[in-house]
Amino acid sequence: MPAYVSNVPSPKAALALVERLSQVLEVDLPCTDLEIAAAAYERQVTELVNEDDGTMEYVEQLEADFDEETVDDPDSLVAEVEDFLRNQPGT
């Protein structure tokens, strides 16, 4: 979920989690409703970002920073996710 919409539930993130869980468990989980919700979410976020020049510049900078970081160290995102999951309460 992008930081600039952090207070909004993300069906796109939920879809990614369900799809990954489906792969890990090797089961077919129906995701049609989540796919529709994720597409609508993506459209709404894009529209909102495009309405504000400041937000659009911020998003472009975040994307450029991410792309640069990924090129420098493609495993950094994986390491960040692993650290996040490792530091969750109750895990």
69 and 34 in one domain?
no
Q: Kindly indicate the confidence band of residue 20, based on its pLDDT and cuts at 50, 70 and 90.
A: very high
- Structural domain harbouring 46: 1-51
3 and 44 together in one domain:
yes
pLDDT value, residue 74: 62
DSSP sequence for 64-78? HHHHHHHHH-TTHHH
Q: Are 8 and 26 members of one domain?
A: yes
Interatomic CA distance for residues 48 and 55, integer angstroms: 9
Over 80: is that where the pLDDT of 3 sits?
no
User: What is the structure's pLDDT at 5?
Assistant: 54
Specify the pTM: 0.56
Out of 18-22, 50-54, 84-88, least confident range:
84-88
Residues 23 and 67 in one domain: no
Residues 45 and 57 in one domain: no
The predicted pLDDT at position 67 comes to 81
Q: Is the pLDDT of residue 65 over 70?
A: yes
